[in-house]
Structure 1
């Protein structure tokens, strides 16, 4: 009997290009995209990247909620606001780009962290998205100086953010798991914010959303300009 390469218990009946052998239908259905790095052209994938985003968005949601809880415990609403800004800028910039990679987000967060370090010495020009993230942080900080982590708190928040993004992304070369998870999550659970950010990005305006998609109360929530949410 040809054993399933994933569970090693049931019979493998489907050819899995990611595992290089046979997989049982149960493992294929449950773990595809989320835990198995399926290639785009696999016969068992449904509607390509939209399907991937939906599956990864569902997987992303509880992990993201827990990360926000940890950030709130560590640094309160200012820490939450900084990571939320990273998510907002990332979604706005990459939501309609099929070629974006998680490495670009990690590099941008690392670059922002370096610029906020007291020991920072400017080096080579930053990549395009890193420049974009830095500009958005500076803009938000200027307009809302009391609402977001500053140079004393930000480096640790960004270190934690790098770890979170990297762990969700996984070890795959040119991984897009974090990007797909974030985009899929926002589109599925916050369609009105997704539409708002898409419109802003198309207009070329600075991304300062009047709503946050940080998890709702009693989990931490960022109050931005025009926000009408209330704590219960």
Structure 2
């Protein structure tokens, strides 16, 4: 059997699409997405991502019912965006959410802060979409004439999501730049299917 194209010591047992050769499991695991530019459809990358998803522990959200509604709407907006921008990264999403959280926290203190712009043009587009939709939600009032969603509601959802992304990025440095977004897509799809089943049984 041929030797690993990276270390040239151990046996190459995995076909590496990025290097067009055989690679050993150790080099694949330690150099993946760091020194090797792995394609997102690589079977070994997908296996590593699945393993990572299973082992990342998340703190449960302490949300009120209306905050859950806001959270799922927030994630569904990102999900729709990802259908068009399939290569969007966790880092870009973190940039968007961090800036929005900072803006809402500043507003809560009744301070002025000019609109903050993410680094990438794709992130700017997503932030614009989220801001437009959040602005509509802020205008909703209940039967008592009070806002349905408060600034605290938006901050709580944004902060929770930011912490989740940071946790996934910290725990998974070598499984690609969109692991959290894959988790998010899976969550939204499960949520959509659950709602469909509920409508069928009504």
TM-score by length of 1: 0.52
State the partner residue of 1:164. 164
Unpaired stretches in structure 2, ≥5 consecutive residues:
4-10, 118-123
Q: Give me the whole-angstrom Cα distance separating, in 1, the residues matched to 2:141 and 2:56.
A: 28
Answer with 1 or 2: which has the greater Rg. 2
Matches within 5 A, 1:82-121: 82-117=70-105, 118-119=108-109, 120-121=111-112
Q: 1:133 to 1:105 in 2, by over 3 A?
A: same
Q: 1:83 to 1:141 in 2, by over 3 A?
A: same
Q: 1:184 to 1:76 in 2, by over 3 A?
A: closer
Q: Give me the whole-angstrom Cα distance separating, in 2, the residues matched to 1:13 and 1:173.
A: 19
- Work out whether residues 116 and 155 of structure 1, in 8 Å CA contact, stay in contact via their aligned partners in 2: yes
Q: 1:56 to 1:86 in 2, by over 3 A?
A: farther
Please state if 1:140 is matched with 2:137: yes
TM-score by length of 2: 0.58
Deviations 1:125-184 (A, max 9, x none): 532211211111222333466896521343233222101022224446981222233235
Helix, strand or coil at the partner of 1:75: coil
State the partner residue of 2:113. 122
Please state if 1:78 is matched with 2:66: yes
Matches within 5 A, 1:1-232: 13-14=13-14, 22-23=24-25, 37=33, 39-40=38-39, 45-46=42-43, 52=46, 60=53, 70-71=60-61, 74-117=62-105, 118-119=108-109, 120-126=111-117, 127-143=124-140, 149-170=149-170, 171=173, 175-187=177-189, 189=190, 228=199
Cα RMSD after superposing both structures: 4.8
Higher helix share: 2
- Work out whether residues 140 and 147 of structure 2, in 8 Å CA contact, stay in contact via their aligned partners in 1: no
Q: Give me the whole-angstrom Cα distance separating, in 2, the residues matched to 1:191 and 1:153.
A: 23
Deviation, structure 1 residue 190: 5.7
- Work out whether residues 108 and 131 of structure 1, in 8 Å CA contact, stay in contact via their aligned partners in 2: no
Unpaired stretches in structure 1, ≥5 consecutive residues:
3-10, 194-210, 217-226
- Work out whether residues 98 and 162 of structure 2, in 8 Å CA contact, stay in contact via their aligned partners in 1: yes
Q: 1:144 to 1:175 in 2, by over 3 A?
A: farther
Q: Give me the whole-angstrom Cα distance separating, in 2, the residues matched to 1:62 and 1:41.
A: 20
Runs of 4+ in structure 1 off by over 3 angstroms are 11-18, 54-64, 143-149, 169-174, 184-187, 189-193, 227-230
